A and B are shown apart, each in its own frame.
Chain A
Amino acid sequence: MNTEDALRPDAIAARGPDLSEELAHLVRPDLVHRRLYTDPSLFDIEMDRIFGGTWAYLGHESEIEKPGSFVRKRLGRRQVLLVRTEAGEVRGLLNRCTHRGTMLMAEDRGCQKRFTCPYHGWSFDLDGRIRNLPVADSYDRLFERPFDLGQLRVESFRGFVFATMAAEPLPLLAWLGPARRWLDEHIDRHPGGRLRVLPTAVIQEYRANWKMSWDNAADGIHATFAHRSYNLLGKEAETETVLARNPATTPMISMTLGHGHCVVDQRPGIPAGPWSTMRPLPTRADLEDALAARGEATAVNLDLATGNMVNLSLFPNLLFVGNQLMVVEPLGVDHTRVSMFLVVADGAPEEINLLRLRVDEDFVSFGTPDDLEMFERVQEGLKVVEEEWVDISRGDHAGDVVGEDGLVTGGISSEAPIRAYLEEWKRLMSKPIPTTVRRSRIEAAKFAGARPARAAGGVA
């Protein structure tokens, strides 16, 4: 099969210019150029090579438990329906009719027997196969193009669904690499390994480049300063707010995990456990009393009410913060949306999940706004054309420990995680990445050889 024929519906195409030389200049071991955050032409290429050219988080299987259930997601500029088929499989369907490109589903979630286009009535099964095409006789060469919905390659790791347009992506486990152990740990702290992602996210937008979220994710030192206000609230309540540490002496660590992933492990800095860091919260006293009355106010249970203080970040779009999954969606070179999905533990006592509801809105109220303010202030500063370079050398040869595998462990002021994700960014962005649209069937097309009889193919 000649998939280089660009007219084929299963064409494999690698788009855009070779940027190897340019990016070798812009991303250096100790410096990064401002254009990575401000250049719309680089942003356009990111939408192909970073969001599509490699694995990215799409959603969680608990969002689509029943056959027919779907949630509407985005991967870069593509709208995607994450669907559970009749057979129980998970699919990522492009949310566009194969006729004119009309967006099929406008709802954020729902349950359907099939997807029907409102424009000309074409309908598609849950696995993307075309089911009905009104006035099919009006096509002389109906089967010369397969009209099944476009699909992404999706793969699930213990309920976490990742997707890509890459024609030949790395095996998912190879892409996760050393991050897998941390993801396992995150899942395993939930009784029975059972996580449920609540459907409605807190959605906030900021006027800055999406990589600000990434620069911030493993930056442990900002918490002392940017979150001073949050820390003062903790001090007022006489709790050991985890962020109010001395960044020069805290034993917390950051680690790079390959493919741009990283983790910050704050536990060494909080020997009394995560729950010890929480201030009084709405309903906290009643719910702790209820647990205590049943002898269930144990450290294990209460620690479950808050995050595990291990901030895992899977490049390019998934950050674990507290009990929330923070999904980073780039909207424009200086416009980003973060969707914060709360995870509950169905195997935990009811009080723990009721507490989770109140715990995470605390940081969203008193912490996140100050992060977003910093991102916007950085974006403002990066407008100065003459100040071309941003230093990212912190920690290098100054505390960082490089392992035999090349992965770096450092203190929380280390910028090794920034250097590591930018290295992955450069790798992905330098050359065109072959991508392709998957479909259920290609066979009934001129591309497979002989033209089939008109009655074949199951189109009514």
Chain B
Amino acid sequence: MNVALAATPPTGLARVRGLYQGLVDDRAAVIAAGAADAALSTSAATFLAAECRWLDGRSFDRWLSAWTDDGLYWVPLAHGHPAEDQALFLDDRRRLGERVWRMSDASAWALTPGADTVRLLGTVEAWPDGDDVLTSSALHITYCRGRRVLALAARQIHRLTRDEPGALRIRRKILLIPELTAGLPQLGWLL
């Protein structure tokens, strides 16, 4: 696979267009890809399982530290394009930090008291893409807050990269949630 993020221009409108196109390209590449790389899939699965564990365990700071500084997290509403359609959110690292901050803010009424979640990770497929790793996996989230339970299913696409010591980090994440177009309770808790 060769989607290559490196071509993104450094500044301005072209950079924004490039970032957005990169997300769309990742989504398209993963959906069209052939059989995954077995060894890479195993190591990526270990990392994605840890991501689920950090989020379910409310170790949000640990989760945030697994992102690269240029990270982007996109939750499209349907089959949209980030330059043309609303998203549930499209966050850079800074706004992800705000999302994490709200998780423990006592005046974030929709998140207080906090929810318990369990993320059930399906088969993880991974492909090399230059120095990065692209992955696809199905995800089932059960969310329980107070006496309310919500179940969500999603396909998640990760672009992972290796930092200096060789550990995997999240560079891009796309969460495709069909139920978004059907109407759901507030998702201010979703990471």
Contacts and interface: CB of A to CB of B under 8 A. Distances in A.
A200 B77 contact: yes
Interface centre among B86, B89, B92, B189 (most CB of A within 10 A): B86
A233 B3 CA distance: 36
B174 to A, nearest CB: 14
Contacts of B180: 203
Contacts of B188: 365-366, 368-370
Contacts of B183: 203-205, 337
Interface residues on B, range: 35 or more
A201 B181 CA distance: 8
Interface stretch (B7-15, B27-35, B153-161): B7-15
Majority secondary structure, A binding face? helix
A361 B90 CA distance: 8
A375 to B, nearest CB: 10
Contact of A357 (B82, B105, B181, B182): B82
A358 interface: yes
B120 interface: no
Given A289-B11, A370-B110, A229 B186 contact: no
Contacts of B85: 198-200, 357
B87 interface: yes
A289 B13 CA distance: 8
A365 B99 contact: yes
A372 interface: yes
A453 interface: no
Interface string A346-377: 00001100100110111011101110111000
A369 B186 contact: yes
A374 B109 contact: yes
B16 A287 contact: yes
A163 to B, nearest CB: 21
B185 interface: yes
A280 interface: yes
A416 interface: no
Contacts of A286: 11-13, 15-16
Contact of B83 (A280, A354, A374): A354
Contact of B111 (A287, A361, A369): A369
Contact of A205 (B111, B184, B189): B184
Contacts of A368: 186, 188
A145 B168 CA distance: 69
A245 interface: no
B16 A365 contact: no
Given A282-B91, A286-B12, A365-B99, A229 B185 contact: no
A228 B181 CA distance: 29
A317 B182 CA distance: 19
B140 interface: no
Given A226-B109, A229-B109, A283-B16, A357 B184 contact: no
Interface in A202-249: 202-207, 226, 228-229, 232-233, 236
A200 B80 contact: yes
Nearest to B185: A205
Given A203-B182, A233-B101, A350 B110 contact: no
Nearest first, the 3 A-B pairs at minimum CB distance are: A369-B188, A369-B110, A369-B186
Given A204-B187, A362-B95, A373-B186, 5 more contacts: A287-B13, A290-B12, A361-B87, A361-B89, A374-B109
